[in-house]
Amino acid sequence: MAINHADGTLFVSVLFYPVAATAAAVSAGAKWFAPFFIPAGLVIGMLVTFFARRALYATMEQLFDGNGEYESGWRESTIGAALMLLYVIYPYAVIGVALYATWHGSIWVVKAATW
């Protein structure tokens, strides 16, 4: 079964969130608390993947009418190029923002728990 670029990138990224959450907890000084961040990071990764896929495909679906009748002109080529750029960059942008938020959120939780 083939998987497309956006899905494959988002699915593989699920494994990065527990690593980011645990590393952030360790860097914040709570080594004893770090193992609790593994399942939390996994859940965050699955939620990010679920909602990012829904947002991407909802955006793409709004732009296509689904009848398959497209003219090949400069407007269609320009729109197609913009959509291809969105399709390629969007997963990496979402992953980067979500990993950043996971990292800093984990540090915030550790500091709030050890306050």
Cα dihedral angle (95, 79, 81, 72), rounded to 10 degrees?
Answer: 150
Boundaries of domain holding 34: 5-66+81-113
pLDDT tens per residue, range 53-88: 999 888 877 666 566 566 677 777 788 788 888 889
User: How many domains does one find in the chain?
Assistant: 1
Instruction: Kindly state the percentage of the chain with pLDDT values over 70.
Output: 90
* pTM of the entire predicted model: 0.84
Rg of the chain taking only CA atoms, in angstroms: 19
Within-domain flag for 72: no
pLDDT of residue 61: 77
Confidence of residue 114 (pLDDT cuts 50, 70, 90): confident
Within-domain flag for 75: no
| Whether the Cβ atoms of residue 70 and residue 76 lie closer than 8 Å to each other | yes
